[in-house]
Amino acid sequence: MGPVKRYFRSPAAVLGLVLLLIVIGMALSAGYFYPRDPLALAGRPLIWPFANPRFLLGTDNSGRDIAAQIFHGARISLLIGGVATLIAVTIGVMVGALAGFYGGWIDNVLMRITEAFQTLPNFVLLLVLVAVFGSTLTTVTIAVGIVAWPAPARLTRAEFLSLRSREFVQAGRTLGMRDTQLMLREILPNALPPVIVYAGVVMAVAILLESALAFLRLSDANVASWGNLIGLGRDVLRVQWYVSAIPGVAILITVLAVSLVGQGLNDALNPRLKQR
């Protein structure tokens, strides 16, 4: 049974994939369904969902189409989530691999740096970075990536620590492999599955962090992101709660989808779980 078949045996993984495909579909089709600028005024403010067939999900407090913002926001959320995760996992895997493989003073130095990052509350660090470097889409994405790398680093280090003394790694050494070959070709493929699963969590956290920034109106206000919409809805939360709730549900579904896919990937990629 191939990994693909194994993936599709799990209903939760399939559900996650379907949800994720829907979100990706929204992101891709945003330009087709809502070709106009999603941040342009479209009609009367605060129309309830389903009240006007032109605005299926209603309008926000400045009269912008919520459905258009949800579709375009999917792009922003996936972009920030994806790129930030890539940054975090890349830094994390490099730091963790070096620390775990070599140990000794390299491990000590790298882990103390990691701990320095971990002792700072994520969100405070993020606020500082955004305050210093400004809040454009690029800086926010990089900032989220920088905030999220310590956990993947620790995870990778733990895997490397346990794998580096395994006999197959020693066998690779006796065959004459270089350290980089041992790290990249022998250990890394075996160390990756938990990191891949965790990348799902990192992506979810990245999306949530961006939303939280936007809720405080510290994210890039010139793009239609779900977080920005929640932040706007804050002013009318008690009566027109849907303005915040609709992007909130969108975030919830995306985060859930990413986590389920991550878990499903782990089960499918690990050939040792075949017999279960």
Partner 1 sequence: MSSSEPILTVDRLSVRLPPGADRTHAITEVSLSVAENELVCIVGESGSGKSMLANTIMRLLPESVTTDGGRMLFGGRDLCTATAAEMRRIRGADIAMVFQEPMTALNPLRTIGDQIGEVLDIHTDLSKADIRSRVQSLLSDVNIPDPLRAAKAYPHELSGGQRQRAMIAMALALDPKLLIADEPTTALDVTTQAQILKLIRELQQRRKTAVLFITHDFGVVAEIADRVVVMQHGVVVEHGPAKQVLRNPQHPYTRQLIAAVPPVAAPLPRKLSDETILALSGITKTYRTGGFLGRGARVTHAVRDVSLTLPKGATLGIVGESGSGKSTLARCIIRLLDPDAGSILIDGQDWARLSRGEIRGRTRQMQMVFQDPFASLNPRRKAAELVAQGPIIHGTPRHQALAEARELFELVGLDPSAADRFPHEFSGGQRQRIGLARALALKPAVLVADEPVSALDVSVQAQVLRLLTDLRERLGLSIIFITHDLRVAAQICDLVAVMKDGVVVEHGLTGDVFGRPQHPYTQALLEAIPGGDFARTAQN
Pick the piece of the chain touching partner 1 (CB under 8 A) from 17-25, 113-121, 166-174, 231-239: 166-174
Q: How far is the CB of 31 from partner 1 (least distance, A)?
A: 41
In DSSP notation, 156-221 reads: HHHHHHHHHTSHHHHHHHHHT--HHHIIIIIIHHHHHHHHHHHHHHHHHHHHHHHHHHHHTT-S-T
Q: CA-CA distance, 258 to 16, in Å (whole number)? A: 7
Pick the piece of the chain touching partner 1 (CB under 8 A) from 51-59, 113-121, 175-183, 230-238: 175-183
Taking CB under 8 A as the criterion, the residue among 35, 167, 180, 239 binding partner 1 is 167
Q: For residue 194, which of 168, 225, 158 has the smallest C-alpha distance?
A: 158
Our CB check for partner 1 shows the closer of 41 and 273 to be: 273
**Up-side HSE of residue 62: CA atoms within 13 Å toward CB?**
10
Taking CB under 8 A as the criterion, the residue among 171, 184, 237, 252 binding partner 1 is 171
Taking CB under 8 A as the criterion, the residue among 166, 184, 217, 235 binding partner 1 is 166
10 is an interface residue for partner 1 by CB under 8 A:
no
Q: For residue 166, which of 190, 132, 142, 184 has the smallest C-alpha distance?
A: 190
Pick the piece of the chain touching partner 1 (CB under 8 A) from 32-40, 59-67, 111-119, 163-171: 163-171
Taking CB under 8 A as the criterion, the residue among 176, 180, 238, 239 binding partner 1 is 176
173 is an interface residue for partner 1 by CB under 8 A:
yes
Identify whether the C-beta of residue 240 lies closer than 8 Å to the C-beta of residue 61.
yes
Task: Return residues touching partner 1 (CB under 8 A).
Answer: 166-168, 170-178, 181, 186, 189-190, 271-272, 274
